[in-house]
Amino acid sequence: MSTTVEQISEKIKFLPEEFLDRIMEYVEALAEGKTDYVIPEWQQKEVRERIADYKNNAQSGIAVEEVFKEIEKEFE
């Protein structure tokens, strides 16, 4: 799948403004060729815990489509 600038722009329109600085930092890092990100241990631990929780309680999750619908409702 080839993503277009228009598709990215359309998605960004619906994000809260506080995400825009983070998005810009990411885009600038990509443009500068920076790919040597270091993920802090605390974030790795958090992801591991969330994966384990999901595996133990997979039925408790909701589909990502439903999450997006709920978020969109908040911004209508």
2-19 pLDDT, tens digit each = 888 888 888 888 888 888
Residue in 35, 15, 39, 16 with CA at minimum distance from that of residue 26: 35
Question: Contact, 14 vs 75, CB < 8 A?
Answer: yes
Asked whether the whole model's pTM tops 0.75, one would answer no
Q: 43-55, pLDDT tens digit by residue?
A: 999 999 989 988 8
- The CA distance from 45 to 43, in Å, is 5
Question: Contact, 54 vs 61, CB < 8 A?
Answer: yes
Question: Contact, 72 vs 14, CB < 8 A?
Answer: yes
Domain ranges of the chain: 1-35, 38-76
- The CA distance from 76 to 71, in Å, is 9
